[in-house]
Structures are given as structure tokens and as C-alpha cells.
Amino acid sequence: MRRILAIAFVSGVILAGIAGYLLWRDFERVLAAPLSVGARPYRLVVDRGVPFRQIADRLAGDGVIANALYLRFAARARGLQRRIQAGEYDVRPGMSSHELFDMLVNGRVVQHAFTIVEGWRFADLRRALADAPALEHTPGDWSDDEIMAALGRPGVPAEGRFMPDTYHYLLGTRDLDLLERAARALDATLAHLWDERDPGLPLNSPDEVLVLASIVEKETAVAAERAQIAGVFVRRLQRGMRLQTDPTVIYGLGERFDGNLRRVDLAQYTPYNTYQREGLPPTPIALPGAAAIEAVVHPAGGEALYFVARGDGSHHFSATLTDHNRAVSRFQLGAGADR
């Protein structure tokens, strides 16, 4: 009888060992297998303080993992439950549960990108921010002045004050924080280039550089022309000539501009109509990039005082009004206005 019991006991131990081994193999197979993610990443948001049990149940409920119990056991066995970091994660195709743990523990969260485009107006920037995902948005009814005050810059016009660039941010970042980064980047770039400016410029402050840079930004999309156009405007300012630049007139018209600039618009006075007033407009008219600012502090030399669009995105430059009028007739068939 004792022998039978001993055999039964040993057999039970062996069977239990085999069962345990098979279970462990299945456990490891499941954890090493690719998660059930489609062609696009599965977005997982882990809130601060949420129990890992809820994360595993959510993944199982969405069909990403086959067995929430396995994932919970693995996290407990490895002491990972309290090391999971909050944030937004992309579970990518082909990723295993082991790689998922590694991502969650090391906090490799999704980084969103937001690009501020050279030549945007602040209104364009605000609209793009309102559509940007994962940001904590400022109330839409805030005025530009309220936004600048919230950024610690009361009384500073918002136009032109944010550096065009691509900024990365995490889920829950405030749009004000992103704007603050862009404003500081603009301040640093402007201060650096102002300190390195050419001598003799007819510009009395970094703010005036910013205003002229915004005009250069709107006048050409050809990088090689920026310094040439800046040179034209610098020489005009030095000689007391009006800038006579269409983008400032368009900015002054605001919502009244319908896409077609007419002679009557050039004759209408606004603080931004550089056909009607001397000097620079009161504020920037767009967001200039670093290249436009650099062009203003290092303008190209020469005698050109005029330029006209060729129709291919580039410009023809002239030193005299007579030559300019010929260029207008050649490139715009008499439709252009003197600059």
C-alpha cells in the first residue's frame, strides 16, 4: 500500500512539474509573442496613479493582449507594477509584452510635434494651436493681449513674437507653455543677431529689426533673395524713401483684403500702408524666421532701390526708377505698382 502511495505521490509530483513547465512555456510564449496591433500603432494613455490591473484589463478588452492575467502576473513577478510611468504610449506592430514593459517602465512616451511656419500671422498660429492634439488649450475667447499677458509680456504685440520652428511636446502640455518656448527662442535669436548687426543700419532697436524682417519674410520665399530685399529696404530707409511694400498694405486691410490688391487700397491710409507713410509700420506683420532676421542685420550691398516679381517666385532688382518701370512692363505688362 505504501509503495502504491509513494508511486502515486511521485507521479503526482511529476505531472505537476510537467503541467507547471507547460504553463510556464505558454506564459513565456504569450509574453514573447507580438501583440495584436493593426497596421497602425495602438495609442495607450496611462494616467498617473492608475493600478496596473486596469491597464492590463484595458489592453485585453481592446484585443491587444490575449490574457490580462498573464500580463498582471509578469508585472508582479518582476516588481514592475509601481515602476510604470504615466504618459501617452504608442504600442507598435510587432511589439511583444516584454517590449511593452520596457517602454512603460522607461517612460518612452509619445512626443507630438508642432511646427510654426515662417510667414504665419499670429492668427494663423492660434488656429493651428487650437487644432493641435494632446495640448491643454487656452480658452478660445482670450484676446491676443490676454495671451501675451499670461506669457508675462503685457502690452507687447503678439504679432511676430514667436520663432518659427518645430517644437516637441507631451500629452497635457499647455499651449501657453509651447508659446512661451517659441517666444523665448525668438528673443534669444533676435538678441544674438542684433549684437552681430552690421554697422550703420537705419534701425534703432531689435524690435525694428523684427518689423523689417517680417516684411522681408512676406516679400519672398526665395532664400537667396532675402538679403537683397533687405538691402533694398535698408537703402530706402537710409534715403528717407517710403518702403512701398504690398504685404504691409494687405496686413493693414485685415479682413477687408479679398485676395486682390487694388490701387484704391494703396491710396487708403492705415498705420501699415507704407505707400502713404514713412518709415516702418508699428508692429511686425508676420512671424519671421531666423534667416529673414539675419538678412536684415546683414543686408546685401549694392545700389538697387526697387524690385518686381518675375512671376516665377523670384524678383528683378533695379537701381533706378526708369529701369524699374521697364522691368514692370516686361514682367507684369504694366500691371505692377512702383515700389
Query: What's the CATH code of the domain at 77?
Result: 3.30.1490.480
Do 206 and 308 fall into the same domain?
Answer: yes
The overall pTM is greater than 0.85: no
pLDDT of residue 287 exceeding 60, the answer is: yes
Rounded Cα gap, residues 282 and 125, in angstroms: 20
Task: Examine the fold and report which residue of 47, 80, 106 is the final residue of a domain before the chain moves on.
Answer: 106
Nearest alpha-carbon partner for 62 in 23, 30, 35: 35
The rounded distance, in Å, linking the Cα atoms of 273 and 176 is: 32
Q: Is residue 255 part of a domain?
A: yes
Say if residue 79's pLDDT is above 90. Answer: no
Q: Note whether residue 2 is domain-resident.
A: no
Is 110 within 8 Å of 89 (Cβ atoms)?
yes
Q: In angstroms, rounded to a whole number, what is the distance separating the alpha carbons of residues 115 and 85?
A: 27
Identify whether 338 is part of a domain. Answer: no
Residue 18: inside a domain, yes or no? no
Using the predicted structure, report yes or no on whether residue 47 has a pLDDT greater than 50. yes
**Total number of domains in the chain:** 3
Other Cβ atoms less than 10 A from the Cβ of 50: the count is: 13
Asked whether residue 40 is domain-assigned, the answer is yes
Domain boundary among 54, 79, 106: 106
Which of 79, 106, 133 represents a domain boundary (last residue)? 106
Give a yes or no: residue 6 inside a domain.
Answer: no
Lowest model confidence (mean pLDDT) among 3-12, 34-43, 82-91, 146-155: 3-12
Same structural domain, 260 and 317: yes
Task: Assess whether 178 and 230 both reside in one domain.
Answer: no
Let me know: does 109 contact 86? Beta carbons within 8 Å: no
For residues 96 and 143, membership in a common domain is answered with no
Does pLDDT of 338 surpass 70? no
pLDDT at 156: 96
Give me the residues paired with residue 174 across strands: 136
Range of the domain at 177: 112-189
